[in-house]
Amino acid sequence: MMAIQMCSPADPATEPARPLWLAPAALAAALADARRRQPREACGVLAGDVSAVGAAIAVRNLAQSPGRFELDPLDVVRVERAVRRSGRQLVGYYHSHPHGAIAPSAQDIGGTLWAEEGPHWHLIVSPAGAWVMFDTRHRPWRAAWAVPLSPHDARNFSAARAGPVSL
């Protein structure tokens, strides 16, 4: 099975672009979770290493509102321990937008998970199959790879197109 290669759109003055591989099974797991949990948002963690996302692991959503997500911290700790025991590491997070564009919301960008030194990949998926992987080290977040379903989705984030994004 072929993996999808993405390239983080780096600031050429400060850092080189770094490739990231997304295993199709990881993307399929996140999309399946989004479909299973709609109309609520799905959420979870991305596991792998610095160059590859090999798994998307569902985590309980504690948010009461259908249009929000809040990762259960106890689930995150449990999953992170299991990931480390398997020789991988936590490399990012994912969540779904069941009824809207796949662009990050103000709440997504302002969330507490996006530590400068921590995992910095964030996958947003829709139950319909659209998805975009963001590099959260940048403000605003930068799309590293995107597969929008409609022109509406494409207008809602600045770097949307199918393929690696070079900024």
The pLDDT, as a whole number, for residue 67 is 83
Give the total number of structural domains in the chain: 1
**Average pLDDT by stretches of 10, the chain with 167 residues:** 49 57 89 95 92 91 89 93 93 90 81 61 91 79 60 38 29
Three-class secondary structure of residue 102 per DSSP: coil
pTM of the model: 0.79
Cβ contact 37:97 at 8 Å: no
Q: Give the C-alpha separation, 77 to 99, whole Å.
A: 29
Residue 122 lies inside a defined structural domain of this protein = yes
Say which CATH number the domain at 43 has: 3.40.140.10
Residue 43 lies inside a defined structural domain of this protein = yes
Residue 72 lies inside a defined structural domain of this protein = yes
Among residues 92, 97, 122, the alpha carbon closest in space to that of 40 is found at 97
147: domain range? 19-52+68-155
Cβ contact 89:48 at 8 Å: yes
Three-class secondary structure of residue 114 per DSSP: coil
Residue 161 lies inside a defined structural domain of this protein = no
Residue 28 lies inside a defined structural domain of this protein = yes
The pLDDT, as a whole number, for residue 72 is 94
The pLDDT, as a whole number, for residue 63 is 92
Residue 3 lies inside a defined structural domain of this protein = no
The pLDDT, as a whole number, for residue 75 is 94
The pLDDT, as a whole number, for residue 61 is 95
Residue 9 lies inside a defined structural domain of this protein = no
Residue 102 lies inside a defined structural domain of this protein = yes
